[in-house]
Each structure stands twice: as C-alpha cells, then as structure tokens.
Amino acid sequence: MSEPVLSVDWPAYHRLVERLAAQIHESGYRFDSLLCLARGGLRPGDVLSRIFDVPLAILAASSYRAAGGTVQGELDIARYITTTGADLHGRLLLVDDLADTGATIERVRVHLRQRYPAITEIRTAVLWVKEGARVAPEYAVMRLPDRPWIRQPFEIYDDMQPEEVCRRVHGAAE
C-alpha cells in the first residue's frame, strides 16, 4: 500500500500560514525573536515576521536530502544563524513547516539552549503535525491522524532543471 498524499496549492498554503498567525496572536504569546528553519520554515517564517513585525532569523537544518527530498536521513544543523536583528533572546518563536517525527524540533531546541543562553523560552509553530511526532508544537494548524506525504506547492521545483524553467518562461513546448 502506498503512502497517502496531502496536496496543498498556493491559496490553501497561504490560508494555513494565516491561520497559524491568528492562532499565535489569539494565544496572547508575545515573542522577542523569531527563528525559522530553512528550508521548510522559510515561507511561514517570513510571513509571520512581517505580520508580527519581528526580525526574521534563519537557521538551516536538513534531514530530507535523499531521493528528491523524500527520504529522511541524519539531521544537519548549520553552525550559524543569519539575522538582521539582535541576537536571539527572550521569548523565541521557532517556526518550521511540519513536525514529522519531531526530531528536528527536539534537536534544534537543545542546540539553541546550549548556544543562546539569552533565550528564556522557546515555543514552536508549524503548519502540520503528523501522527506519532515526538514533539507537540504549541501552535499547529493541522494535526494529521496519519502520516501522509505533504506535497507543498513549491515542490514542483525539486526536480526542475534550469533548462525546463527557461522553456516554461519562454513558452517553448515541453
């Protein structure tokens, strides 16, 4: 039996991010720092940064590299965080696209507590939580009762080469 698939188009994706923003706002949580995990958390992190008017910090973390990003492997966490704001401090909102197993969020929390003592609290926000995740993010739009592959709208670019982009842009037949 094949793995179920949840396909999300751009309008649905944007609604999910807006629902996440509303959930955070309605909770009353006021955060001092916002850190998104690249790549999946970049898009929701950017939007939340704009809505809440908090500088965006970015940390690259990846475990999905094999088989076009569909097979989870060893988690790599970047050495440095990029931000135009102050160093991470106070109440932190950690943003990713999903909690699959929860391993990324767990490891990044440990990483942040070890390297950034000025952080006093970490809350997490994701669009999706899959069944069986070891972590329960404080903010999640959808809690999935199964473990579908989530086909996000930007995944069309995962296997696209520059030549195909040129054909699409210039209208050549594919």
145 compared with 69, residue with greater pLDDT: 145
Which regions of 66-157 does DSSP assign to beta strands (E)?
71-77, 82-83, 90-95, 98-99, 119-130, 139-144, 149-151
Q: What is the pLDDT of residue 171?
A: 87
Q: What is the pLDDT of residue 1?
A: 46
Instruction: Share the mean pLDDT of the chain.
Output: 91
Between CA 62 and CA 90 the distance in angstroms is 25
**What does the pLDDT look like over 85-106, one tens digit per residue?**
889 999 999 999 999 999 999 9
Is the pTM above the cut of 0.75? yes
Q: Domain limits at 105?
A: 5-170
Residue 114 pLDDT greater than 60, yes or no: yes
DSSP state of 2: P
Strand partners for 71: 66
Which residue blocks in the chain are alpha helix, DSSP H? 10-27, 42-52, 66-69, 103-115, 162-170
CATH of the domain at 106: 3.40.50.2020
- Domain total for the chain? 1
Q: What is the pLDDT of residue 146?
A: 87
Residue 56 pLDDT greater than 60, yes or no: yes
- Burial label for 36, CB within 10 Å (0-12, 13-18, 19+), is buried
